[in-house]
Structure 1
Amino acid sequence: MKPRHHRPSERIRIIGAASGIGAQDRACEDGPVAFHRSQAWHELEHHPLLDWGKTLFAPQGDRASITGRIAALCRNLADEVALALRASEFPVVIGGDHSVAIGTWSGVARAIAEPIGLLWIDAHLDSHTPETSYSGAIHGMPLACLLGRGDKRLLNIGLEGTQISAAHTVVLGPRSYEPEELEFLQRMQVRIIDSDEILRRGFAACLDEAIAIVASAPAGFGVTLDLDAIDPRLAPGVGSPEPDGLVVHDAVEAMRRIGGLPGLKALEIVEYNPDRDRHGTTAGLISDLIGELLPPGSDK
């Protein structure tokens, strides 16, 4: 087992991104508020290095299109993430459907002033464009947007052009996707380590490779974890559950390994659906993942 790295004692700012309008099941909109009210968060909230900053919502209004509302939320989220980084805080974004990733990683790229590496842990590839999407749901498009492809309202929010470096981006754990998005990511030369490869090689070896790729990005890297990457029997409170997937230990071990790496700029945990959670199991997992960012003994 590789040694655990510890984060410096920097303040962690939690930012809620309460959007469900990018998904078919909109209950993920309630995820950040439900987690903020959960027992799992209450057990963390008094930690001296943790602060819940703001919870952002998509603007209301019948005249505003879904894409326009998501774009507005993502611009606000990018502002909050960039503000946290400029204050030498570590942003942790709690979503909300995965369309909010457009705002999170645009904000990081803006603060750093160049594209970053990104570890995208997900059951899906999330790399459709409006032309290829089967459902039209924008939570299936954010990775493509961050790579510069998609509706123009969702592009260039942080930087002009791409927000992340394709050469330093890895999608880890996908097990449900369409050929169009696979072809797009392969054309962009994004490394995809799917569930079959994880079964064949083992999670630890695949994680080692993924970390090596994303952590070599000169400007640093981030991690976005869609909770549906995990087996829904173990983490039921997700927006788009898919059979099988990672075990909880793998997700926590990944965060333990990555959480203190010096190039890590932000963490995002998305697609929490409290309507499907059972006994707070998935909320507890979110809390455990955040806890891996905290230095040992820092709650004293």
Structure 2
Amino acid sequence: MSKLNISIIGVPMDLGQNRRGVDMGPSAIRYAGVVERLQELGHSVDDVGDIAIGRRETSQNTKLRNLEEVVAANTILANRVHDIIGEGNFPIVLGGDHSIAIGTLAGLADRYDNLGVIWYDAHADLNTAETSPSGNIHGMPLAVSIGLGHEALVNIRDFAPKIKPENVVIIGARSVDPGERDLIREKGIKVFSMHEIDKLGMSEVMTQTIQYFKDRKVDGVHLSLDLDGLDPLYTPGVGTPVAGGITYRESHLAMEMLYASEMVTSAEFVEVNPILDEKNKTADVAVGLMGSLLGESLV
């Protein structure tokens, strides 16, 4: 991967779930030195700041919490990401909760003919209002992006679906709801759960992932990395931790292999919650993984 012109955009969104504090995630990641880390690798980095996020809704729509506000923020994000790609830059989006992936993918999708997506996450995020046990939209962005869900979410930027389900690879899943399991089978979504990672090893999982995208002939790959994909031992500052996750070193190996593949064309790092963290540990891990994704090596 050559030296890049990187545009960083923060999305201090906490409306896709109920636990407060994740709106401070972009600030925590910046405090952990993301700009300096990427500049040291020789990349040109432009931090374009944060998008404005509205207040929580006053209505009690328990099936789609804060729907209007989430749609509004993601629409702004989608347009910003779309413009960044148009300028020839590499977008890195800092969250915020994982509902922001709705906007990121909406901004990316029509810039590519056949976009691939790596969903690095403990959760599948394939719920809809009908299947979600919580009504939290941060559990729905992947479903929305393949064209399933409320029309206001699905049709951001006036087209749907944003991605093909067969162009998605989920890595690290270990907390999947029944409706999500049904959808994975129905749509043929490729999943490397923790069982596969334990059985095959991360090197083989990433080798198969990279080959899968080559076989699919994708013309870009977006990495959507939720810090709860890692075991909470390494990333305690997340809102929905799930024990038994990917290790710190496995995650760096995955990022290093993606860098070597020269496939990744955009990325987002989400669900850093400083209130729940220990001395900004989770943000530090996020920045370290960005370094590995963009060329940092051990030697």
With the length of structure 2 as denominator, give the TM-score of the two structures.
0.90
Q: Which SS does the other structure have where 1:167 is aligned?
A: helix
Q: Which SS does the other structure have where 2:51 is aligned?
A: strand
Aligned twin of 2:54: 59
1-structure distance, mates of 2:161, 2:52 = 25
Q: Which SS does the other structure have where 2:148 is aligned?
A: coil
Note the 1:1-300 alignment, pairs <5 A: 7-36=1-30, 38-41=31-34, 43-44=36-37, 47=40, 49-60=44-55, 62=57, 66-112=66-112, 114-158=113-157, 160-215=159-214, 216-259=216-259, 261-295=261-295
1-structure distance, mates of 2:295, 2:201 = 28
Deviations 1:196-223 (A, max 9, x none): 1211222211121122223434332211
2-structure distance, mates of 1:39, 1:210 = 30
2-structure distance, mates of 1:178, 1:62 = 26
Flag structure 2 segments of 5+ consecutive residues without an equivalent.
Answer: 60-64
Deviations 1:78-137 (A, max 9, x none): 11111111111100111111000000111111333x451101010011100001111101
Alpha-carbon distance, 1:42 to partner = 6.5
Q: Cα 1:274–1:117, aligned 2, differ >3 Å: closer, same or farther?
A: same
1-structure distance, mates of 2:135, 2:83 = 31
The structure that is helix-richer by fraction is 2
Matched letter for residue 34 of structure 1: A
Q: Cα 1:105–1:283, aligned 2, differ >3 Å: closer, same or farther?
A: same
Alpha-carbon distance, 1:175 to partner = 0.5
Q: Cα 1:246–1:69, aligned 2, differ >3 Å: closer, same or farther?
A: same
**Bigger CA drift: 245-254 or 205-214?**
205-214
With the length of structure 1 as denominator, give the TM-score of the two structures.
0.90
Aligned-pair Cα RMSD in Å:
2.1
Q: Which SS does the other structure have where 2:166 is aligned?
A: strand
Aligned twin of 2:62: none
